[in-house]
Structure 1
Amino acid sequence: MWCVPHPIHRNCVLVLLDTEGLGDVEKGDRVNDSKIFSLAVLLSSAMVYNSIGTITQDAVDKLKFVGEITELIKVRTGDIEDQEGLLSRYFPIFIWAVRDFHLELKIGKKRISADDYLENALKLKTPEKSPEEKEYNELRNRIRMYFGNRKCFVFCTPTDSNRQLKELEQLPDEKLEVDFVAQSSFFCDYIFRKAEIKKLDITVEVTGNRLGKLAELYTEAINSSNVACLEEVVVSLAEKENKIAVQEAAKLYEERMKTIPLPTETLKDFLDLSTQYEEEAREIFLKRSITDEDQKFLQEFTNSVKTIKTEFSFKNEEKSREVCHALIKKHSADFEKALAAGTFRRRGGHKYFKKILKAIEQLYDKEKGKGVKAEEVLHEYMTSKRADEITIIQKDNALTQKRKEEEVEKSRKEMEEMRNRLKQLEEEREKEKSSEEIANLRMTVEQLKQKLEEGEKIWNEKLEQVTKEKEREQDLYRMQGQNNQAKKYDAQIRTLGREKEDKGFFTRLSNNISSLFRKWF
């Protein structure tokens, strides 16, 4: 394996997988060839098959286990009538590279392209007169069925010097045959432009991490049960990937929340930062999660975020309380000493008590960095002084009895107003938190819908591409007078048409998102 930056696509890696050749005499194991070939098919988005000299019957025969590929690979579990038709949409581009090609590209006297040369090699013998001819045709039918996107390149010998052939990898281009360099450039350019990003289940891009897991899952499936089921592999990989998606996204959110200096000045400051970090975490989750059809892992992610947010919200409030209590203690220290000494229990003491209490409030209000519990802690402190105030009123001989009663009643009303204000503050906080949570949930639903639309677009483009390949194949058979073979594609083309209309998985997913939306709101 070689991994290099992709020459065309930014932020992509070109992975080159080199497998052992087919028909290795040392192994002499056809089963081994089948497994190697199947693994290469499953892991690649473009597969290059090499042969030397010309496309001979022997070179085609080395692909004879392609006819048995349904014994090693299937798309879905259960008894599916047309596994062959389904497989072609998941298979890579098939590129036949003919090395050391010395012939002219001609059929009779007519010049042809390399692609025409390959198609001519895949023509059927008609009519079939013997079991050998039937086997000859069957292999070609399978190759054409599975690999609708085919390409052929022919290469001349890179150099006439045997010595240079031994040092080929070290030779600069100017030491090689001009035609060979041009052919190689054309070949590479085709791979760079036409080989798509490898996708799992058509819509999910394969990352390096996923490629490693897929290699393990496919190899294990082929070796243990002799059948690699794409549907089962997707389910298995999705379970692993979605768990990691939840963990990574929740971890990022928690790490970001730890950077918030506590206490925040206002609840809005806290919620704005929380929303920003939740968006970052959600982006990671949605990017990594795959085929979360029931949205089980999405709900797990949102619940994790909610738990972490609640924890940090509590810490924010507690830190605010701690700061506010310290400030109250600082500004009320002399007042508390005077209160304990009975300084205010004298004539005119109530007026003096109110003046000092107001001064404490003003000093407290000027302080910065009190946080979300600033008003609440102040009200709690002022409320706690009401009993002392009533006692001071009763001891203040400057007040008439009627005035004392009025002041006590006024103090009680103020205390009740403070209690109501505290209750109002709590309700406003909960409403602000709820509004922020609803806004984030709505954003989650919108991004889910966007991801669904993007997946559906990719799906439709793939179905359209496969449909064109089937129609092209059907036309080729008709041109060659193989009407019976052409008819085999009718059902597949109709199935593709129905899938484009029904949208199966995407319809179910859309319904599940709508159900989740109703549940949340």
Structure 2
Amino acid sequence: MSQARMMQRPICLVKNVCGSLEVCKDAIEVLNGINEPVVVISIVGLYRTGKSYLMNRLAGQQTGFALGNTIESKTKGIWMCCVPHPSEAGRTLVLLDTEGLGDIDKGDSQNDGWIFCLAVLLSSTLVYNSRGTIDNVAVEQLHYVTELTEQIKIRSPSSQEGADEEEEEDSQFVCFFPSFVWVVRDFTLGLEIDGKKVTEDEYLDFALQLKKGVNKKTSDYNLPRQCIRSYFPSRKCFVFPSPASPENMGRLESLQEQELVPGFLEATGHFCKYIFARSAVKTLKGGHRVTGKLLGHLAQIYVETISSGQVPCLENAVVALANLENQAAVEEALQVYKNGMEKVKSKFPVTVNDFTSEHQKLSNLATSEFMKRSFKDDKGEYLKKLVEAIDMHYVDLMDENEMASEKKCRELLNVLSCNISERLKNGAYSQPGGYEDYCKDRDDIIAQYRKEPNKGVRAEAVLNEFLTQRGPEANTILHADKRLTENDKKIQEEKEKAALLKQKCKEEEERRIESERMRQVEQERQEDRIRQLQEKFNKEIEQQREEMDRALESKLREHEELMKKGFKGKAELLGEEIKSLKEEKEKISASGNVFKEYVMPLVSTGVDVIKNILLQKTIQSGLTAFFKR
């Protein structure tokens, strides 16, 4: 169960004390417990306009976010409530209630600007709450939107070269900004324009229409409207009548549904239904879905950047998040492999087939787990770390399996050879015919040894070592046997040599089979890794294309409307933005051709490790044989 299901009341996410912003650790701990994608709804607006009431309705609660019943602003900073998404399984709804803008007690418009900026950066849907009508005063009160290009950068300042790049960047805010919903509270007018009934969305579009002209007054009038139209990928409007009679407004939190105005309840229902159905999962630049844990990291990065006096940068934030998440993905995936191999280790010694099959299965599973969590690992740096860490652990386990096999085989041969050792002490083989008896007892040991199951990968090597060590002993008994002629002894000597050679060949065959199996498994691991990389690469390219398609769709809608209204000059400028976005989309599509360059360094990693293992084992085997001579 995620911590989102356990939250009973909202908790402060960003503390705002004397104009200083600070992320609250308790809220980060809550977000760290949410590993599923989050849909983030932020609400902003002037203080005492009823924002908290709407958030309580979205949370499915009567109370929660503080409402207050005086002119004093109750919400300070940004407060958060996490609840299971009411209609999308496997998702968490994160509601962010911001302190009221324009609070007379605060008197700090810059601080208001950063609160607004954080709401935009963290949310997938931004709700702007106002009262009365959407007139010029209401639009001007949303002047914070005109400052966003100064407070948010898409690319790192060091990667920008001049004014053209900045203008190109401004055109791409629509790719990364949330959807925009304007809620008008206490709306008393009829939805009519020039005597014709209009929808709420048409009312908003009418209020955001641009005026023709080039003087400063017209430019000032158009600027906030143009920003809203240009920066947000979609716009939606809801109008709400007053929720209750004036005497009941002070106790809105305690009112029962039957005490509320029916029209207000109906509007609230439509609003909540829209938010639940149409608000998307929060995504990063590049299309990666944000989990609760990532949202917590994102909040910390942005608040720390703002507190240091710098401008939040989407590109830098994504890189910082990617480094954190990719390292965590390596550790998590490696632990999946280690946990699985611990079960194999408990059964040591095991055969090479059993050992490599489990290694292959768990390695592929670990890669899959890494792929699920990692993102923007453009050079494969973190996947390479994972492959190397798995292979190093694999080598260690291989040595442990071999040692376990050697130990078991030696102990088994010691037990089986007790009888032959006792008979040697008693001189049982010193009599005529003793060599024949010795060979029979030795053959019985070998037969019993071969019947014993689960000896592991060193079975033939340990047997070869045993027979080699017993060679001088057998030779002494052979030459002391008076029943055998000199010719018989020469024949038996040749048989002894042939038997030892045969056993040596079995040991080498055992090693050859092991090496071949390792090569085969590594090849199959590579193929699976490349397949998973290709799938992830294609998915990321598709996410980026969808990102650009949404931006283009928004810009094309705006371009068509400007042309209809006769704003030819503005439409031409927007046409340049559309052209820029199309070129960006073509670059994304073309990036699919670099997949081979992306994977080749990763493919060689496993091969090199396995080559080194086999080379090391070959050298070790040769040195062992040399010293035994």
What TM-score results when the alignment is normalised by the length of structure 1? 0.95
Q: Which residue of 2 aligns with 1:49?
A: 128
Cα distance in 2 for partners of 1:386, 1:505 equals 69
Q: 1:127 aligns with which of 196, 205, 213?
A: 213
Match of 2:326 in 1: 242
User: 1:90–1:201: 8 Å Cα contact kept in structure 2?
Assistant: yes
Q: Choose from 110, 113, 129 the match for 2:196.
A: 110
User: How far did residue 434 of structure 1 move?
Assistant: 2.3
Structural mapping, 1:120-519, within 5 Å:
120-128=206-214, 130-160=215-245, 162-163=247-248, 165-260=249-344, 261-503=346-588, 506-507=591-592, 510-516=595-601, 519=604
- Say if 1:300 and 1:47 are closer, same or farther in 2 by CA, change over 3 A: same
Task: Report how far residue 328 of structure 1 moved.
Answer: 1.3
Q: Which whole-Å deviations, capped at 9, do the CAs of 1:153-176 have from their partners, x for residues lacking one?
A: 11122223633x344334444443
Q: Which runs of 5+ in 1 are unaligned?
A: none
Closer, same or farther: CA 509–175 of 1 in aligned 2, 3 Å: farther
8 A contact 1:22–1:62 mirrored in 2: no
Distance 1:86 1:223 in 2: 25
Q: Aligned with 1:461: secondary structure?
A: helix
2:99 maps to 1:99: no
Name the counterpart of 2:99.
20
Contact 1:262 1:316 in 2 (8 A): no
How far did 1:509 drift?
5.8
Quick check: 2:460–2:503 contact (8 Å CA) kept in 1? no
Judge conservation of contact 1:257–1:277 (CA < 8 Å) in 2.
yes
Contact 1:148–1:473 (Cα < 8 Å) also in 2: no
Contact 1:149 1:469 in 2 (8 A): yes
- 1:378, distance to aligned residue in structure 2 (A): 2.3
Change in 2 beyond 3 A, CA 1:419/1:368: closer
Question: Partners in 2 of 1:506 and 1:189 — Cα distance?
Answer: 39
Q: Deviating runs (4+, > 6 A) in structure 1?
A: none
Matched to 1:247, the amino acid is E
1:393-423 deviation line (CA, Å, top 9, x unaligned): 2122222211211110111122122222212
Provide the residue aligned with 2:174 in structure 1. 88
**CA distance, structure 1, for counterparts of residue 309 and residue 499 of structure 2:** 79
Task: Indicate if the aligned counterparts of 1:293 and 1:509 stay in contact, CA closer than 8 A.
Answer: no
Q: How many angstroms does 1:125 deviate by? A: 1.8
- Give distance in 2, aligned partners of 1:131 and 1:284: 57
Residues 360-404 of structure 1: per-residue CA shift (max 9 Å, x gap): 122223323322222332232223222222222212222221121
Corresponding pairs, count: 519
TM-score, normalisation: structure 2: 0.79
How big is the alpha-carbon RMSD for the aligned residues of Structure 1 and Structure 2?
A: 1.9
Contact kept, 8 Å, 2:538 with 2:592, in 1: the verdict is no
Contact 1:243 1:297 in 2 (8 A): yes
Relative distance call for 1:519 and 1:272 in structure 2 (3 A) is: closer
Equivalent-residue separation in structure 1 for 2:251 and 2:431 (angstroms): 109
Rounded Cα–Cα distance in structure 2 between residues aligned with 1:34 and 1:41: 11
Q: Return the offset for 1:36.
A: 0.9
Are 2:533 and 2:599, in contact at CA under 8 Å, matched by a contact in 1?
no
| Larger deviation, residues 35-44 vs 393-402 | 393-402
Aligned AA (1:184):
T
Q: Identity of paired residues, percent?
A: 34
CA distance 1:171–1:392, shift in 2 (3 Å)? farther
Taking the aligned partners of 1:231 and 1:519, their CA distance within structure 2 comes to 30
Q: CA deviation at 1:242?
A: 1.6
In the alignment, the residues of structure 1 paired with residue 547 and residue 96 of structure 2 have an alpha-carbon distance, to the nearest angstrom, of 24
Which residue of structure 2 aligns with residue 40 of structure 1?
119
Of the candidates 31, 49, 63, which is equivalent to residue 142 of structure 2?
Answer: 63
